[in-house]
Structure 1
Amino acid sequence: MLVPFLIMLREGLEAALIVGIIASYLRQTGRGAWMPAVWIGVFLAATLALLVGAGLQLVSAEFPQREQEMFEAVIGLLAVGVLTWMVFWMRRAAQGLRTDLTGALDSAFARGQSHTYALIGMVFLAVAREGLESVFFLLAIFQQSHGSGAPLGALLGVLCSVAAGWAFYRGSLRLNLKHFFRLTGLFILLVAAGLFAGSVRAMHEAGWWNQAQQVLFDLSDWLPLDTPLGSVFAGVFGYQPAPSLSEVVAYLGYLAVTLALFFRTQRPSPLSARADVVR
Structure 2
Amino acid sequence: MLVPFLIMLREGLEAALIVGIIASYLKQTGRGAWMPAVWIGILLATTLALLVGAGLQFASAEFPQREQELFEAFVGLVAVGVLTWMVFWMRRAARGMRQALTGALDDAFASGRGHSLALIGMVFLAVAREGLESVFFLLAVFQQSAGSAAPLGALLGILASVAVGLAIYRGSLRLNLAHFFRLTGLFILLVAAGLLAGAVRALHEAGLWNHAQQVLFDLGGRLPLDSPLGAVFSGVFGYQPAPTLGEAVVYVGYLLITLLAFFRPAPARAATPQADAR
TM-score (norm 1): 0.95
**What amino acid is the match of 1:68?**
Q
Give the drift of 1:99. 1.2
> Unpaired runs of 5+ in structure 1?
272-279
Percentage of pairs with the same residue: 79
Deviation string for 1:230-265 (max 9, x for gaps)?
000000000000011000001000001000100001
> Superposed, which structure 2 residues align to 1:80-99 within 5 Å?
80-99=80-99
> 2:66 is matched with which residue?
66
> 2:149 is matched with which residue?
149
1:18–1:11 CA distance, 2 compared to 1 (3 A): same
1:219–1:82 CA distance, 2 compared to 1 (3 A): same
* Aligned CA-pair RMSD: 1.1
> 1:190 is matched with which residue?
190
Q: Secondary structure at the match of 2:113?
A: helix
- Contact kept? 1:41, 1:120, Cα under 8 Å: yes
> Unpaired runs of 5+ in structure 2?
272-278
> Superposed, which structure 2 residues align to 1:111-122 within 5 Å?
111-122=111-122
> Superposed, which structure 2 residues align to 1:15-54 within 5 Å?
15-54=15-54
**What amino acid is the match of 2:54?**
A
> 2:230 is matched with which residue?
230
- Give the 4+ runs in structure 1 shifted more than 3 A: 268-271
> Superposed, which structure 2 residues align to 1:175-186 within 5 Å?
175-186=175-186
2:36, 2:188 → 1: CA distance? 34
Q: What is the count of residue pairs matched by the alignment?
A: 271
1:207, 1:176 → 2: CA distance? 47
TM-score (norm 2): 0.96
- Contact kept? 1:216, 1:243, Cα under 8 Å: yes
**What amino acid is the match of 1:209?**
W
Deviation string for 1:200-243 (max 9, x for gaps)?
00000001100000101111122111110000000000000001
Give the drift of 1:161. 0.3
- Contact kept? 1:95, 1:177, Cα under 8 Å: no
Give the drift of 1:173. 2.0
> 1:129 is matched with which residue?
129
Q: Secondary structure at the match of 1:95?
A: coil
> 1:274 is matched with which residue?
none
